[in-house]
Amino acid sequence: MFYSGLVVTCKPGQFASVGEALKSLPVEVHQSDAASGRYVVVLEEPSVEAETERFRAIQSLPSVADVSLIVHRNEPDDDEI
């Protein structure tokens, strides 16, 4: 399984709309700060390609100003150990 930690920065005045959009995606929002207009999001995907697709989906949201990759990990599944 592949995991990525992202910081999603909203366009001014768009914090709530980005939050609603993130709720519709299979991501985990771990932290949010309306004052800075940022969310900390974790992706969990079975492949790097799926992670990239999800990253781009967030990046393409009209209310998103920036998405930054902070950390990326590959953790083997139990059956791969």
- pTM for the full model? 0.90
pLDDT digits (tens, 9 = 90+) for 5-42: 999 999 999 999 999 999 999 999 999 999 999 999 99
* Cα separation, 70 vs 79, whole angstroms: 28
37-75 per-position pLDDT tens digit: 999 999 999 999 999 999 999 999 999 999 999 999 998
**Strand 2-10 relative to strand 28-33: parallel, antiparallel, unpaired?**
unpaired
Which residues are CB-neighbours of 19 under 8 A, at least 6 positions away?
29, 32, 39
